[in-house]
Amino acid sequence: MNPRITSNPNICAGEPCIKGTRIPVHVVLSHLAANEDYDTILKNFPRLKHEDILACLEYAAYISTEKVAP
């Protein structure tokens, strides 16, 4: 997976986060779902980079391909 996304049981209870931050992927995705543009997200989260937002989208795309066993 993308090296910008990490999961550590000692950080945010193991939720996937942007590496080097405590910003969970779901928070970035929520802002995107609320129709916030990249510039606004980057302004509100100064530690993020454009590539971090793209990594969150890539992560979401990857997770959405998981299958549920019957």
DSSP one-letter string for 3-69: TTEE--TTSGGG--EETTS--BHHHHHHHHHTT--HHHHHHHSTT--HHHHHHHHHHHHHHTTPPPP
pTM over 0.75: yes
Q: Are 61 and 2 in contact (CB under 8 A)?
A: no
Q: For residue 9, is pLDDT > 90?
A: yes
Mean pLDDT of 15-32: 97
What's the pLDDT score for residue 58? 95
Which domains can be identified in the chain, with CATH numbers? Answer: 5-63 (1.10.10.10)
Cα–Cα distances in Å, from 48 out to 30, 33, 44? Answer: 15, 17, 9
pLDDT at residue number 68: 72
Place of tokens 């971090």: 52
User: How high is the pLDDT of residue 52?
Assistant: 98
